[in-house]
Amino acid sequence: MSSSERIQQTQDSETRPLDFSPIGRAISGGVKRAFDFFFALIGLIVLSPVFALVAVLIKRDSPGPVFYWGARIGRYGRIFKMLKFRTMYETPGSYEGFCITCEEDDRVTPFGRWLRDTKLNEFPQLWNVLKGDMSLVGPRPEDPSIAKTWPMSMARELLSVRPGITSPASVVYRDEESMLHAGDVMRKYLHELSPDKMRLDQLYIRYRSIWLDIDVILWTALLLLPKIRAYSLPEQFLFVGPITRLIERYVSWFVWDFLIVLISIGVTGTLIRFFGPLNLGWWKAIEMALAFSTLYTLVGMILRINRINWSKATSWEAGRLWLNWLVVVVATLSVHSYFELTSLRIYGIVLIASILSLAGITFIRYRRRLMGGFLSRVLIYRLTTPPIRERVVIVGSGRTAEHIAWLMDHPAYARKFQIVGFIDDDLRSQGMSIYGSRVIGRIGDIPALVRKQDVGLIILADFQTASRNFREFREMASYKPARVVVAPDIFGSLSGLVKASPGGRDGGAPDGFQCQHCLARYAIPESKNADNPDVREDETTH
């Protein structure tokens, strides 16, 4: 894959997963700025003796100033002076050459070469961080002449944050000068290195967090060590490093579990006090919560619970939570029983608090799905005016119909669509409730239901039913003004249930279907739906 293709792939990927709101961005930016300021100040104080020694060695190496102030483009396109230790001879040729250096560049002094190899020449940029021109971690500031070659959309994104002393691109291209050779410096940099560095900078901006910054600083320090400098770091570990994984997968859940267990113990203790005195104490409660949470985390590591993305987890994954809980409760009670550490009342506290904890632990992991379902129900009851939501009838009662109903229940679609009911030819299903709505009729009843229920959309979620009755569905005039959409029969396709209908062309799908295995639309004859330009009379190709 070429650099331009990788950049386009990055641009087409998901938007920033961390920047949910202006308030969130302001808080994140404030924390990052405080982090930068504090550690830049500490770094300048601690490294001041090293800076003094380097300054003496630079003066002894070649005549000229100790520092070099280079023009760089910063946040929002503002030009600032970036501070470095001088590594080149103080001659006119050093200023007239390329702004990019290569391994054989004769402008670099002997001591300057060592400074560049160890990256010590970059450390004075802590002063730029302290001033607010730069950050500890961020896209490396580029020369203004090179920044002019950036596409406008990319420049807007790259310049939306402060540039940094180090970055994921700096880690990957830590030996950049060895990749460039005299006579081909600018071409190779502009056409090969720079595009990929910009791609990595874009990924950093989209995934940035304080934990990612710590990861990048850690990788920068480790990969400068001679023995592991040649190690090639996989990209996924670069952006989701050990600190990020530790915090997001273990520490954050440990904190949540600890708070839930502590609250559960407090609630349980309060309830038990109604039936008699209890001198448990907060320190004892905290000890119990820490012990339970620690054991729960350790057992969860064995069951790989922390590898589950709970915002997208299935309901069956809750079984791991319950198994984890059962193991921890049995172990806790067994240890206390063996050593006779607790009374019968404490056993009761442990059992009741553990049950409350299980409920809380399950809720906190499924909170997004539970809250999403709750909000969708609220929307369903609040949005009752017909013009607000399009009324939908689903033909079928199988797995595809179930998933269409689930999709319509999602908050993103509950604002737009309202399920009137299901259509099923099974006489025993008439009037019964399935997937949260009633079966309101058979296929022959659809024309009357469209007029009576003001139906705007008919979704065919049963391909076999639609195939058997394709002649009825071809009579589109009886369904006006409703649109007819065919849902893909994914489950039928996987299980081999979708068969070619003899009524269709070439033994395939019946006339009017675009494809058996993809989203298809019926063409509405004689007239076009002006309100729905996506539905066209000539839309018959795959």
> What SS3 class is residue 38?
helix
Q: How far apart are CA 173 and CA 185, in angstroms?
A: 15
DSSP 33: H
Q: In what order do the strands lie in the sheet with 390-395?
A: 433-434, 437-441, 417-423, 390-395, 457-460, 483-486, 520-521
287 neighbors 267 (Cβ within 8 angstroms)? no
Q: How far apart are CA 230 and CA 218, in angstroms?
A: 16
Q: How far apart are CA 262 and CA 74, in angstroms?
A: 47
Q: How far apart are CA 519 and CA 507, in angstroms?
A: 19
The pLDDT value given to residue 279:
67
Closest C-alpha to 512, from 464, 476, 481, 488 = 476
14 neighbors 96 (Cβ within 8 angstroms)? no
pTM of the model: 0.69
* DSSP-based helix, strand, coil % in the chain, nearest 5: 60, 10, 30
Cis peptide before 488 (omega within 30 of 0): no
299 neighbors 290 (Cβ within 8 angstroms)? no
140 neighbors 163 (Cβ within 8 angstroms)? yes
The pLDDT value given to residue 467:
62
The pLDDT value given to residue 498:
46
Give residue 223's identity as a one-letter amino acid code: L
Q: How far apart are CA 269 and CA 266, in angstroms?
A: 5
DSSP 189-210: IIIIIHHHHHHHHHHHHHH--H
Count of CA atoms in the C-beta half-sphere (13 A) of 478: 12
Token pair of 374 as six digits: 């709750």
DSSP 115-130: HHHHTGGGGGGHHHHH
The pLDDT value given to residue 95:
79
CA dihedral 312, 316, 318, 324 (to 10 degrees): -130
Q: How far is CA 285 from CA 263, 325, 344, in A?
A: 9, 18, 16
DSSP 58-113: HHHHSSS-SEEEEEEE-GGG-EEEEEEE--B-SSHHHHHS-SS--TT-TTB-HHHH
Token pair of 450 as six digits: 């469209």
Q: Which helix (H) or strand (E) holds 375?
A: helix 367-382
Give residue 305's identity as a one-letter amino acid code: I
Closest C-alpha to 258, from 214, 289, 229 = 289
Q: How does strand 483-486 pair with strand 520-521?
A: antiparallel
The pLDDT value given to residue 517:
37
Token pair of 64 as six digits: 């000229």
Q: How far apart are CA 437 and CA 392, in angstroms?
A: 11
Backbone angles phi and psi of 483, in degrees to 5: -95, 150
Q: Which residues pair with 300 in a beta bridge?
A: none
Q: What string of pLDDT tens digits covers the 542 residues of the chain? A: 444 444 444 444 433 444 445 665 666 778 899 999 999 999 999 999 999 999 999 999 999 999 999 999 999 999 999 999 999 998 887 777 777 887 778 888 999 999 998 899 999 999 999 999 999 999 999 999 888 888 888 899 999 999 999 999 999 888 888 787 777 778 888 888 888 999 999 999 988 889 999 999 999 988 888 777 777 778 878 888 899 889 988 999 999 999 999 999 888 878 877 776 666 678 888 888 898 999 999 999 999 888 888 877 877 888 889 999 999 988 888 877 765 555 666 677 788 888 999 999 999 988 877 776 666 666 555 554 444 688 999 998 888 888 888 888 777 787 788 899 999 888 778 888 888 888 998 888 888 888 888 898 988 887 666 666 555 665 656 677 888 888 876 766 666 544 444 444 344 444 444 433 333 333 333 333 434 434 333 333 33
Residue length of the chain: 542
The pLDDT value given to residue 318:
87
Q: Which residues pair with 357 in a beta bridge?
A: none
The pLDDT value given to residue 510:
42
The pLDDT value given to residue 215:
93
Q: How many C-beta neighbours within 10 Å does residue 458 have?
A: 22
Question: 230 Cβ partners below 8 Å, 6+ apart?
Answer: none
Domains annotated on the chain, with CATH:
3-238 (no CATH), 245-365 (no CATH), 384-521 (3.40.50.720)
DSSP 393-446: EEE--SHHHHHHHHHHTSHHHHTTEEEEEEE---GGGTT-EETTEEEEE-GGGH
The pLDDT value given to residue 74:
93
Closest C-alpha to 285, from 267, 302, 259, 262 = 262
427 neighbors 437 (Cβ within 8 angstroms)? no
Q: How far is CA 369 from CA 100, 111, 511, in A?
A: 51, 59, 40
Q: How far apart are CA 71 and CA 98, in angstroms?
A: 14
> What SS3 class is residue 383?
coil
Q: Say what angle helices 367-382 and 344-365 make with each other, to 10 degrees.
A: 60
